[in-house]
């Protein structure tokens, strides 16, 4: 059985991004800004990838999303499908769903599901990917103010 953790979203599922209203609107009880420490953010083909940072100093900006209890199971299946997550370590995964500690802006650290780049993709990004130094996808896509 899967533990019912909130989700940490850092790309197109963040509030104001293109997939938020399509997949999350009306299905959550709480959404709050948060940071994932120990990860780096890379550009993908229209969406980002979070990758574990071996140095441990990277940070990714995002949002902790708490699913409405009656929506949790369906939302988990929906997000797993969107993120092309099949099962832990599956060779066709685009992302791995892992439990990580995140730090909400308004409270103590908590565990949440995070979709990080699958191992093969993470290796390719570390070798030749385009990093997002700010760790903030939304700011990156908006560009300079």
Query: In the beta sheet, which residues pair with residue 116?
Result: 96
pLDDT tens by residue, 90-144: 999 999 999 999 999 998 999 999 999 999 999 999 999 999 999 999 988 886 5
Q: Which two tokens stand for residue 107?
A: 């409270």
Give catalytic status of residue 4 as yes or no.
no
pTM: 0.94
What is the C-alpha separation between 60 and 62, in angstroms, rounded?
6
Q: Which two tokens stand for residue 119?
A: 């191992």
What is the C-alpha separation between 139 and 80, in angstroms, rounded?
25
Q: Which of the residues 43, 71, 83, 96 is marked catalytic?
A: 83
Check if the beta carbon of residue 41 is closer than 8 Å to that of residue 130: no
pLDDT tens by residue, 3-23: 799 999 999 999 999 999 999
Q: Is the dihedral of CA 64, 67, 69, 74 positive or negative?
A: negative
């Amino acid at each position: 059985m899967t533990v019912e953790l909130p989700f940490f979203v850092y790309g197109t599922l963040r509030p104001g991004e293109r997939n938020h209203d399509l997949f999350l609107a009306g299905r959550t009880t709480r959404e709050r800004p948060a940071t994932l420490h120990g990860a780096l953010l890379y550009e993908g083909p229209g969406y980002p990838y979070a990758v574990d940072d071996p140095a441990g100093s990277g940070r990714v900006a995002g949002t902790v999303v708490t699913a409405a209890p009656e929506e949790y199971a369906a939302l988990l299946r929906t997000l797993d499908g969107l993120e092309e997550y099949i099962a832990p370590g599956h060779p066709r995964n685009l992302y791995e769903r892992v439990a990580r500690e995140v730090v909400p802006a308004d409270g103590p650290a908590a565990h949440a599901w995070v979709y990080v780049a699958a191992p093969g993709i993470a290796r390719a990004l570390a070798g030749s990917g385009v990093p997002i130094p700010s760790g903030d996808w939304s700011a990156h896509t908006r560009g300079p103010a």
